[in-house]
Amino acid sequence: MLTRSGEKDRSEIRQDFISDYDGLADEWWDPRGALAPLSWIARARAEFVPFARNERAALLDIACGGGLFGPHAAAKGYRVVGVDLSEMSLREALRHGFDEVVRADVARLPFEDESFDVVTAGQCLEHVPDPYAVVAEACRVLRPGGTLIVDTIADTRMARLVSITLAENLPLPGRPPRGTHDHRLFVNRERLTRAARENGVELELLGLRPRMREMARFAAGRIDEVTMVRTKSTSVLYLGVGSKK
């Protein structure tokens, strides 16, 4: 539902998803668990991370969860820092490639301006009340010339069908628990790119989807990982990447 100003009515939106992820803390690294698709997306996100220029290069992973992105970032030569609200998830992140973790509100990052060479925010913007504030904070702590990478779910009917109606209800491995997503929190692409632009980063958007043949093999229990492929359509899952001026 829309208000008179054209904004989505968020009066009844649930804003605390941390208890969900605390309850799933043991599944972060389960290749067939409820969080398995996040691992596939993390691997795809890592393709956009440049190799570190020097040994002091630092990467911040916003809403790092159980640390799925840690091994990818470490392999690129970065000192890896994670921020999240879930203490149980942060403990997992420390075990998987993160050099430092901080418990904090991702919309109020406890870091100085221009502290990181790369900032990533994967599959978290669709779980916060103001994703554009998170993007602004990500840009603030990013150094000039640094890389911002975000991926999230579009605020479209197609995304609602795929991410909620199908993904949360089909009896398949890797299915997120019902209620994991609230379609009212899905992220408008134009507003996202505008928020980044206003803070010095011009984002290029592209779509992501799982390779369908591999999905079928995953569902049949023949493989444990699925490759995410790039698409022109950004109407469901999309990724934005750009450099700070």
Amino acid sitting at position 28: W
- 0.85 exceeded by pTM: yes
In a domain, 164, yes or no: yes
In a domain, 12, yes or no: no
Phi-psi region of 152 (alpha: psi -120 to 50; beta: other; left: phi over 0): beta
Bridge partners of residue 237, in order along the sequence: 153, 208
In a domain, 207, yes or no: yes
Digit-by-digit pLDDT tens for the chain (245 residues) are: 333 334 444 545 555 555 567 777 788 999 999 999 999 999 999 999 999 999 999 999 999 999 999 999 999 999 999 999 999 999 999 999 999 999 999 999 999 999 999 999 999 999 999 999 999 999 999 999 999 999 999 999 999 999 999 999 999 999 998 888 999 999 999 999 999 999 999 999 999 999 999 999 999 999 999 999 999 999 999 999 999 99
In a domain, 92, yes or no: yes
Per the structure, the complete domain to which residue 154 belongs is given by 18-243
In a domain, 61, yes or no: yes
As a whole number of angstroms, the longest Cα–Cα distance in the chain is 52
CB 34 within 8 A of CB 175: yes
In a domain, 2, yes or no: no
Rounded distance, CA 42 to CA 66, Å? 12
Which residues touch 21 (CB under 8 Å, ≥6 apart)? 65, 86, 88, 89
Element (H or E) spanning 46, and its range?
A: helix 36-46
Three-state secondary structure call for residue 57: coil
In a domain, 13, yes or no: no
Rounded distance, CA 68 to CA 89, Å? 10
Count of domains forming the chain: 1
Long-range contacts of 109-115 (CB under 8 A, 24+ apart): 109/60, 109/62, 109/83, 109/137, 109/138, 109/140, 109/141, 110/83, 111/60, 111/141, 112/141, 113/140, 113/141, 114/140, 114/141, 114/142, 114/143, 114/144, 115/58, 115/60, 115/141, 115/143
- What pLDDT was estimated at residue 5? 38
In a domain, 78, yes or no: yes
CATH number at residue 71: 3.40.50.150
Provide the sign of the torsion angle of the four alpha carbons 138, 106, 22, 14, taken in this order. Answer: negative
- What pLDDT was estimated at residue 105? 94
